Amino acid sequence: MVKVTINGKEVEVEPGKTILHAAEKAGFPIPTFCYNPRMDPAGACRICAVELEDSKRTVMGCITAVSDGMKVLTESAKVHDARKTNLELLLLHHPLDCPVCDCGGECPLQNMSFAYGAADSRFESHRNDEPEDMKSDVLVFNSNRCILCGKCVRICDEIQDVHAIGFINRGFDTIIGPPLGKKLDCEFCGDCLEICPTGAITDKFVRYQFRPWQMEKIETTCSSCGSGCRMLVDTESEAIVRISSQEGLGPNEGSICVVGRFGFNHVQNHSRLDKPLIKKEHRLVPGTWSEVLPRIADRLKSIVSGGSGRVAGLVSSRTPLEDAFLFQRFIRQTLRSNYIDSGARRGMMNIAKPLALATGTLRPLVDNEDIIGAEVIVVIGADPAVESNITGLAIKKAVRKNRSRLYLVHGQDVSVSTRAKEVIKLLPNSEAAFLELLRKVLAAGGSLDTASKDLLVKIGASVEGVENLLSDLSSSRKVVFVTGRRFHHSDAGYEASEALIALLKERGLWEQEGSGIFPLPELGNDMGVLMMGASYEWLPGLLDSGNPDNRKVWGTHWGTTLDSPGGGLKEILAGIEEGKIRALITLGENPFEYIPDSEFLRKTLGKLELLVVIDQHQTEIADVAHFLLPSASSFERPGHLVSAEGFVQPTAPSMAYWGESLPDAEILLRLVRQMGASLPFENFSSISQEIFKIFPDLRPSTRNGSHFQGKTGEIILALPTPSTPHKALRETVVSKIRGWEAGVSPGQAPKAEGQEPSGNEFMFQFSKSINHSGTFTTHDSNLMTIEGSGLLRVPRQWARKMKVKKGNCVLVRSAHGTISLPVDPVAGLSDREVHFPIHFADERTLALFGKDIVWNHRSGVPSGQTLSVTLEPVV
């Protein structure tokens, strides 16, 4: 430790720390422009000047390391002078157009000038008056206001690893922007916008629409993916103006992705349902709550009086813990049925179920920080920056800062590929065979025999890449496996997960601190929804519903007897077909998005006596629904979400309920009352209390704590210290895993290896786009400006050969139909694969998959994400 005196106060800091750090510790914060705790110091702006008492020299606080006995003055006359001069120089060419600058009011440059009174300059100067770069649809670059601190360029390089902008020209003419005078082409995270200390970068979506001091900031959690970013909703008169973030905030430490930052318009868009709708003579007509609820309640009562298991429920995996918990209890207790399922089945059941069986928990043993600290990271069937942006950032940081060795096993280059030691291209649906092979080879000493090599070639993997992977796996102790969409959706996804669990067991990695499996959920609360029991096989707390003892535990607690066995989506559809299930209630879930045969679905759902759809937008299901109830969005109601890392984070209401919409829980509670039944919940917070009481390990937690205050000044987020455990307990997991063995498939196991497309065929696959989340965001005007239609991503080599350009159409032909789709030629796609963004999958696209739904026997996950097609350019 080094002793330093700051303004007469002595502090001890670690050697190597800067004066800035020491001063902060001593309670004398130093002003900065170009400094950021997450990035390497640049020493570009000189505003952090401090005086060394002994030598009377001024030095830059952000880049000067402390030495023992150093005496520093942070507010001396000399320091003030230096800072003032600096500001004068910075303001020399600055346009001083604060009154029309979006940044005015929250501008560090403005604040600092105010503090140091440096508004007039002793130097002759002319004001810059270059035109703004308006080419991008998202960000506007105003070089006149730029002080060249370089933060935007550095955050894009060092944190985002996107490198979209840079310094252009030299000396006085230097500006910031995208290269070659082109339109900005990047991931649109908006981090540069957020970090810029001036109004040099502004948000085109909301330019001139707000004054910062008139807005209220409400801290909440993004529900669009498993990263669980903490962000600030800036509102005016209960309407959202923009989303911002704050340095260090939440697990995301201040970074948020394009969906989080710009995707908020879908909740205040006129396509939103604003009234309950009732089907009358084949048409949906507006009604009132007092009209619809009694009618639904009556029908439900009469259906339920006929016996148990006659009603089914589907719930979205964006739904908070509270609503999910209430929903399953409503279905199980009030409606006496165990037919219940959620979007989390598709999202992650293939890995959740084996993990729960093996480890007893869904919470991971590792988090993003372990990823940053890992020696080896294996990303298999996942596109981290796209599926869970913050994990993507963690992986990039791991490689850059920590030299972690990154292996990427996928069918295409994904955004972290450039950082990978090896990109191992694998045919779709081959993860199970691949991992099983790795395990066997590792068990047998780690070298590949001829048979293994043959298999690798067959599934498209590079033998050399796998050899490197094997040698890294056998010599490393901190290994994290990241799985995602392609893995979780693969035909043998369940078997692949078992193979992965077994592989970790084989290598003794379950016992190793810092090692583990990190699945990327599909939406904001996949894990939470499963923990709450919103799937037929699990009662709350992941208790097997097939076990009478478990049913008794919950039944007694709830004062009821619980029905069994029920089923998931597959059984629900069959039950409706048979006429056994008469009513269905969906909460934000729309099976038309993923069941390929929409005709069958329409026919089946059409048999229902009662279909109640609770959602924010009208979707295909409305055709067959009897009631459409408007649901409040995550920006309107409270709730808690479980992130991929296991944090349990609250969402806070920031806008008024849209039209007459109500929170899901409120709708359900009203229905219960209307039915004359009862559940012991008065209101929303009584549900939260119940959950946190019965699951003591599910306590609100986040990284870095939280400090924002709610609307009325109270702290909405009583988030405890960052040390609250969010990860699973390793000892418990280790003791469970000892007794675990991979199960046996009840039916015929799906093929563990994919098939190479023959002749001129391609494998067509659905994948996620970075700019969207589910189909929700296709209602978002901002995100639709960024990506407004589904383009089929085709290998660039092929496109060049066939002379098709971006936006040209090709005929996509499968065994079940032909459609025409516009293409986007991309580099790095395996030359036999084409990908289509799932958000834009409509009936036409899904119809390519034909009528058969293949369900994984053990997880009930519908596959049908991969298919052989031929492509033919439309001339």
Partner 1 sequence: MTKAEHGAALEITDEQIDQICEEFGNREGSVVQVLQIIQEKYGYVPAEVLERVGDDLGIPHSKMFGVLTFYSQFYQEPRGKFILKVCVGTACHVRGAELLVDKIKENLHIEAGENTEDMMFTLEPVACLGSCALAPMAMVNGNSFGKLSPDRMLEMIHQFQEEEASENKESVSAS
> Which residues lie near ligand SF4 (CB under 6 A)?
146-152, 155-156, 160, 162, 164-165, 176, 186-192, 196-198, 200-201, 222, 224-225, 227-229, 252, 256-257, 259-260, 389-390, 773
The one among 120, 123, 131, 169 contacting partner 1 by CB under 8 A: 169
Min separation Cβ 682 and ligand FES, Å:
52
CA pair distance 435, 432, nearest whole angstrom: 5
| Cβ neighbours for 640, distance < 8 A, ≥ 6 positions apart | 320, 321, 322, 528, 648, 649, 650, 651, 688, 691, 700
The one among 52, 92, 168, 553 contacting partner 1 by CB under 8 A: 168
Rule CB under 8 A: say whether 806 interacts with partner 1: no
CA pair distance 72, 51, nearest whole angstrom: 6
Min separation Cβ 178 and partner 1, Å:
7
Rule CB under 8 A: say whether 100 interacts with partner 1: no
Burial class from Cβ neighbours inside 10 Å (0-12, 13-18, 19+) for residue 283 reads exposed
Task: Tell which phi-psi region holds residue 738, choosing left (phi > 0), alpha (psi between -120 and 50) or beta.
Answer: alpha
Q: CB nearer to ligand SF4: give 151 or 727.
A: 151
Question: Residue type at 601?
Answer: L
Structure tokens, 9 = 């106060």
Min separation Cβ 778 and ligand SF4, Å:
15
Q: CB nearer to ligand SF4: give 141 or 684.
A: 141
Size of the site for partner 1 (CB under 8 A): 14
Q: Is the dihedral of CA 434, 436, 437, 439 positive or negative?
A: positive
Residue 48 binds: one of partner 1, ligand SF4, ligand FES, none (C-beta under 5 to 8 A by kind): ligand FES
Contact 356, 344 (CB under 8 A): no
CA angle centred on 229, ends 223 and 235, rounded to 5° = 75
Min separation Cβ 141 and ligand SF4, Å:
7
Residue 168 binds: one of partner 1, ligand SF4, ligand FES, none (C-beta under 5 to 8 A by kind): partner 1
The dihedrals phi and psi of 334, each to the nearest 5 degrees, come to: -70, -40
Residue 222 binds: one of partner 1, ligand FES, ligand SF4, none (C-beta under 5 to 8 A by kind): ligand SF4
Give 230's strand partners.
221
Distance set, CA 413 to CA 484, 723, 750, 795 (Å):
14, 36, 26, 11
Q: Is the dihedral of CA 366, 372, 377, 380 positive or negative?
A: positive
Min separation Cβ 136 and ligand SF4, Å:
9
Q: CB nearer to ligand SF4: give 235 or 252.
A: 252
Residue 190 binds: one of ligand FES, ligand SF4, partner 1, none (C-beta under 5 to 8 A by kind): ligand SF4
Residue 180 binds: one of ligand FES, partner 1, ligand SF4, none (C-beta under 5 to 8 A by kind): partner 1
Task: Tell which phi-psi region holds residue 254, choosing left (phi > 0), alpha (psi between -120 and 50) or beta.
Answer: left
CA pair distance 741, 594, nearest whole angstrom: 32
Nearest to 615 by CA among 270, 272, 288: 272
Residue 35 binds: one of partner 1, ligand FES, ligand SF4, none (C-beta under 5 to 8 A by kind): ligand FES
Min separation Cβ 399 and ligand SF4, Å:
18
CA pair distance 729, 738, nearest whole angstrom: 15
Q: CB nearer to ligand FES: give 74 or 359.
A: 74
Contact 501, 361 (CB under 8 A): no
Residue 47 binds: one of partner 1, ligand FES, ligand SF4, none (C-beta under 5 to 8 A by kind): ligand FES
Residue 62 binds: one of ligand FES, partner 1, ligand SF4, none (C-beta under 5 to 8 A by kind): ligand FES
The one among 31, 150, 178, 864 contacting partner 1 by CB under 8 A: 178
Q: CB nearer to partner 1: give 185 or 577.
A: 185
Q: CB nearer to ligand FES: give 196 or 509.
A: 196
Contact 821, 845 (CB under 8 A): yes
CA angle centred on 193, ends 414 and 79, rounded to 5° = 125
Centre a 10 Å sphere on the Cβ of residue 525 and count the other Cβ atoms it contains. 38
Q: CB nearer to ligand SF4: give 149 or 763.
A: 149
Rule CB under 8 A: say whether 712 interacts with partner 1: no
Structure tokens, 580 = 């056994």
Min separation Cβ 166 and partner 1, Å:
4
Question: Residue type at 767?
Answer: S
The one among 23, 152, 164, 523 contacting partner 1 by CB under 8 A: 164
Residue 170 binds: one of partner 1, ligand SF4, ligand FES, none (C-beta under 5 to 8 A by kind): partner 1
Residues lying near ligand FES in the complex (CB under 6 A) are found at 32-35, 43-48, 60, 62
Rule CB under 8 A: say whether 392 interacts with partner 1: no
Residue 169 binds: one of partner 1, ligand FES, ligand SF4, none (C-beta under 5 to 8 A by kind): partner 1
Min separation Cβ 93 and partner 1, Å:
19
Summarize as ranges the residues that interact with partner 1 (CB under 8 A): 153, 156-157, 163-170, 178-180
